[in-house]
Amino acid sequence: MKKIFFFLAIVFSFGLFANQAAATIQAPTLNSATTISSCAVRLNWSWQIGDGDQAGYFEINRSPTENGAGVIAQRLNDVNVFNFENIDLAPETPYWYKVRAGNQDLGIDSSYSNKRNATTLALPNGRDLPPPVLVNDGNFPFG
């Protein structure tokens, strides 16, 4: 009886360990990267929750080249958000994006999504935009 119990305890323990090691998260699909101005790109992705998925965030990676390492442009701690506007970008510059889902508590990330690219627009007339002009029309004092 002790041998059977010991054997079952080992099998049960190994089974729990194997299930923990096999935890995975499905990768998102990056549907589009759309240029919206000279300094912004809008991303849209989709993600299907797989069996046992426990994602807690999306991580958006941006690179100036298709196969570059890139930087984390944003980490969204809401897996119910499927779009992001990357702002404060340089004009007339190509950007490559990819997205992954992850769970910080479990220490796991999905593989990265497919890649999409967009190039920000040129500034009007190829120049910098003029600084804003403040006009006091007499309705409020400048202070």
Q: What is the pLDDT of residues 36-69, one digit of tens each?
A: 999 999 999 999 877 667 889 999 999 999 998 8
- State the pLDDT at residue 49: 79
**Cβ-proximal residues to 78 (8 Å cutoff; 6+ apart), any chain:** 57
Neighbours of 32 (CB within 10 A): 13
Sheet with 41-46: strands ordered across: 29-35, 41-46, 83-86
Taken in order 126, 66, 116, 86, the sign of the CA dihedral is negative
Q: Which one-letter DSSP state was computed for residue 103?
A: E
CA dihedral of 107, 61, 44, 54, whole degrees rounded to 10: 0
Model confidence at 142: pLDDT above 80: no
| Global confidence as pTM | 0.72
The 10s digit of each residue's pLDDT in 103-125 is 999 899 999 999 999 999 999 77
Average pLDDT, the chain: 81
